[in-house]
Chain A
Amino acid sequence: MSAHAEPKIVAFCCHYCAFAAADLAGVLRLKYPPNVHIIRLPCTGKLDALYVLKAFEAGADGVIVAGCLEGSCHFISGNIRAKKRVLAIKNLLPKLGIAPERLEFFNLSSAQGDRFAQIAREMVERVRALGSFHPAEEEDSHDRRGSEAHRRDLTDAGAL
């Protein structure tokens, strides 16, 4: 992997919880890497499964989907819907040659600024260890064979 490649992470955050928690992390001046870019949704229920796939197509190395704690979704069931969609895509990813650890769903409340920062840090490190799977990013991409899922030895996935 190129030494200069910094993982690119997109975080789909719901307005009421995750986005607010990210704001709180800012108010508290917590630190997390600038690899994480937040896209605000009214609810994770709005997260179309396509947004996740398109994010990977568009160059993201990792995708975070963050919504309210279970039972506390401002729109009642949005986070439940989103979680199911994310799990379905996680199952699909290895069949596309993409490590499923690149995508993760998190539940947190608006009061958990520290948890947001923690999630951001952990995903960045997790994805950094996986490297980039976009061939243009790889210096020796012609060496890459087979799907990423078969290169588990390079990852410390499951360390979340």
Chain B
Amino acid sequence: MIVADQKPIEEILQMLEPYKRVLLLGCQSCVAVCMAGGEKEVGLLASAVRLARTSQGRPIEITEGVVKRQCDDEFNDLWRETIEQQEAVLSLACGVGVNKLSERFDLPILPALNTKFFGEVERQGIWTEVCAGCGNCILHMTGGICPIARCAKNLLNGPCGGVRADGTCEVSRNGPRPCAWVLIYERLGKLNQRKNMEQLFAAKDWSSDRHGGPRRRIREDMLL
């Protein structure tokens, strides 16, 4: 799912500086599951902002709401009436939700979250990036482990010289991360597919990734 992080409260408060009446709108999809923007987080953030603003002597009126998915107009439209009464909307959805609301409503839509990556639940409380959305999936060749997302250098043909003795990547941010190619190697071994590693990939054609501009997917048969 899409994994996002709440912005530091200082930044959020700064964004809300000019406004006295806002709607905090959460989303019940990805950001609820990764505990950044569901109904619970909306309630907590609203309370925190109210307290901070009261402390500053500049109270703020907050309406709290949540939609099933902020990436569809129909769900957001349910809040039209309320939105039109606000000075701004602070969206707790991923960037998609912020974009969507901005296209539809003529008032500032502010992002409460920093949208980060496509991730899995490593374990309760920890989400890890495992897919880069590069648009040209080669997971069948790499035993299901993505070298674009999980290798810091996006290498396609095996590890670099920076694999540590314990199998972790020398870049490893947010704590030691396993080298993707070590994982791929081990997994291909279990699947008896080590031969895959003998096939060399040419330099990646990044045009299928966002480097070629914003992408679109169309299902002709589903157009109304």
- Asked if residues A97 and B52 are in contact (CB atoms below 8 Å), the reply is yes
Total contacts A-B at CB 8 Å: 42
C-alpha spacing A57/B51, complex, angstroms: 6
C-alpha spacing A147/B54, complex, angstroms: 11
- Asked if residues B50 and A57 are in contact (CB atoms below 8 Å), the reply is yes
C-alpha spacing A49/B46, complex, angstroms: 12
* Residue of A53, A135, A147 with highest tally of chain B CB at under 10 A: A53
Give the A interface residue count (CB, 8 A).
20
Q: Mark A93-104, 1 if CB is under 8 A from B, else 0.
A: 001111000000
- Asked if residues A50 and B51 are in contact (CB atoms below 8 Å), the reply is no
- Asked if residues A97 and B55 are in contact (CB atoms below 8 Å), the reply is yes
Any A CB within 8 A of the CB of B137:
no
- Asked if residues B57 and A50 are in contact (CB atoms below 8 Å), the reply is no
With A95-B9, A95-B52 as contacts: A49 and B44 at CB distance below 8 Å: yes
Any A CB within 8 A of the CB of B43:
yes
Residues on A with C-beta less than 8 A from B56 are: 97
- The residue in chain B whose Cβ has the minimal distance to the Cβ of A56 is B51
- Asked if residues A96 and B51 are in contact (CB atoms below 8 Å), the reply is yes
Any A CB within 8 A of the CB of B153:
no
Residues on B with C-beta less than 8 A from A92 are: 9, 48
Residues on B with C-beta less than 8 A from A98 are: 51, 55
- Asked if residues B10 and A141 are in contact (CB atoms below 8 Å), the reply is no
- Asked if residues B55 and A148 are in contact (CB atoms below 8 Å), the reply is yes
- Asked if residues B57 and A96 are in contact (CB atoms below 8 Å), the reply is no
Any A CB within 8 A of the CB of B40:
yes
- The residue in chain A whose Cβ has the minimal distance to the Cβ of B43 is A50
C-alpha spacing A57/B52, complex, angstroms: 10
With A50-B43, A95-B9 as contacts: A144 and B57 at CB distance below 8 Å: yes
Residues on B with C-beta less than 8 A from A12 are: none
Any A CB within 8 A of the CB of B82:
no
- Asked if residues A50 and B40 are in contact (CB atoms below 8 Å), the reply is yes
- Asked if residues A53 and B9 are in contact (CB atoms below 8 Å), the reply is no
Residues on B with C-beta less than 8 A from A48 are: 40
* Residue of B44, B55, B57 with highest tally of chain A CB at under 10 A: B55
Any A CB within 8 A of the CB of B154:
no
B135 CB, nearest partner CB in chain A, Å: 38
- The residue in chain A whose Cβ has the minimal distance to the Cβ of B55 is A97
Q: Which residues of A contact B (CB under 8 A)?
A: 48-50, 53-54, 56-57, 92, 95-98, 133-135, 141-142, 144, 147-148
Given A50-B43, A92-B48, A98-B51, 12 other A-B residues pairs in contact with their CB atoms under 8 A: A48-B40, A50-B40, A53-B51, A57-B50, A57-B51, A92-B9, A95-B8, A95-B52, A97-B55, A98-B55, A135-B57, A147-B55
Q: Which residues of B contact A (CB under 8 A)?
A: 8-10, 40, 43-44, 47-48, 50-52, 54-57
